[in-house]
Amino acid sequence: MKIQVLGTGCQKCKLLAEHTEQAVAELGIVAEITKVTNLKEIMAFAVMMTPALAVNGKVKVAGRVPSAEEIKKLLV
């Protein structure tokens, strides 16, 4: 599973990355988590508001920071 945290590095983006790592650890799944900070790459996902979370190339959440529990539901 490939998970991408889209954002320029703001506090909310860092929090989303933390929640994502927590969710993956709690589920015990194997996932590659990467942070996408380049604006051109973020725009390629058609995301207008960050932070955003993409799973296997599909944007699941944009413009807010979901809880680790919500992220776990998106990953299962």
CA geometry: angle 46, 49, 31, nearest 5 deg: 70
Which entry of 1, 2, 9, 10 is annotated as an active-site residue? 10
Which entry of 3, 5, 6, 13 is annotated as an active-site residue? 13
CA distance 41 to 25: 26
Is 10 one of the annotated active-site residues of the chain? yes
CA distance 3 to 23: 11
Locate 50 and state its tokens: 């960050």
Q: Which residues are catalytic?
A: 10, 13
